[in-house]
Chain A
Amino acid sequence: MLNGKTAVVTGGSRGIGRAIAITLAEAGADIVIFYAGNHTAAEETIQSVRETGRQGLALKVDVSDKEQVDAALKEVVSTFGRVDILVNNAGITRDNLLMRMKEDEWDQVIATNLKGAFLCTKAVIRPMLKQKGGRIINISSVVGVAGNPGQANYVAAKAGLIGLTKTTAKELASRGITVNAIAPGFIETDMTSVLDEALKEQMRSEIPLGYYGTPQDIAEAVKFLASDSGRYITGQTIHVDGGMVMN
Chain B
Amino acid sequence: MADTLERVKKIIVERLDVDEAEVTLEASIKEDLGADSLDVVDLIMELEDEFELEIGDDEAAKISTVGDIVEYINKHN
A98 — which chain B residues lie within 8 A by C-beta?
Answer: none
B38-75: which have CB < 8 Å to A? Answer: 38, 41-42, 45
Query: 10 interchain pairs (CB within 8 A)?
Result: A126-B45, A129-B41, A129-B42, A129-B45, A130-B45, A171-B38, A172-B38, A174-B38, A175-B38, A175-B42
Q: Is the interface of B mostly helix, strand, loop or mixed?
A: helix
Residues of A in contact with B, size category: under 10
A174 to B45 alpha-carbon distance, docked (Å): 17
Q: Give min CB distance, B14 to chain A, whole Å.
A: 14
Give B39's nearest chain A residue, CB to CB.
Answer: A174
The size bracket of the interface on B is under 10
In the complex, what residue of chain B is closest to A172 when comparing beta carbons? B38
Interface residues of B (CB under 8 A from A): 38, 41-42, 45
How many A-B pairs fall under 8 Å by CB? Answer: 10
Q: Which residues of A contact B (CB under 8 A)?
A: 126, 129-130, 171-172, 174-175
With A171-B38, A175-B38 already in contact, 8 other A-B pairs whose C-beta atoms are closer than 8 Å = A126-B45, A129-B41, A129-B42, A129-B45, A130-B45, A172-B38, A174-B38, A175-B42
Chain A residues near B42 (CB, 8 Å)? 129, 175
* Inter-chain contacts of A175 with B (CB < 8 A): 38, 42
* List of B residues within 8 angstroms of A174 by Cβ: 38
The chain A residue with its CB closest to the CB of B46 is: A130
B45 neighbours in A (Cβ, 8 Å): 126, 129-130
Shortest A27–chain B CB gap in Å is 29
A212 to chain B, nearest CB (A): 41
Please indicate the chain A residues that have their CB under 8 angstroms from the CB of B38 in the complex: 171-172, 174-175
CB-CB < 8 A to B41: which residues of A? 129
List, in ascending order, chain B residues with CB within 8 A of A126's CB: 45
Tell me the minimal C-beta distance from A226 to chain B in angstroms. 22
CA distance A130 to B45 in the complex (A): 8
Which chain B residues lie closer than 8 Å to A129 at the CB level?
A: 41-42, 45
Q: Which residue of A lies closest to B57 (CB)?
A: A122
**CA gap between A168 and B37 in the complex, in Å:** 14
Complex alpha-carbon distance, A233 and B39, angstroms: 23
Question: A189 vs B38: C-alpha distance in the bound complex, in angstroms?
Answer: 39
Bound-state Cα–Cα, A171 to B41, Å: 12
Question: Which residue of chain A has its CB nearest to the CB of B36?
Answer: A174
Cα distance A206–B28 in the bound complex, in angstroms: 58
CA distance A172 to B42 in the complex (A): 12
> CA A158 – CA B42 in complex, angstroms?
30
5 closest Cβ pairs, A-B complex = A129-B42, A130-B45, A129-B45, A126-B45, A174-B38
In the complex, how many angstroms separate the beta carbon of B64 from the nearest chain A beta carbon? 20
Q: Min CB distance, B44 to chain A, in Å? A: 10
Closest chain B residue to A171 by CB distance?
A: B38
Q: What separation, in Å, do the CA atoms of A84 and B58 have in the docked complex?
A: 27
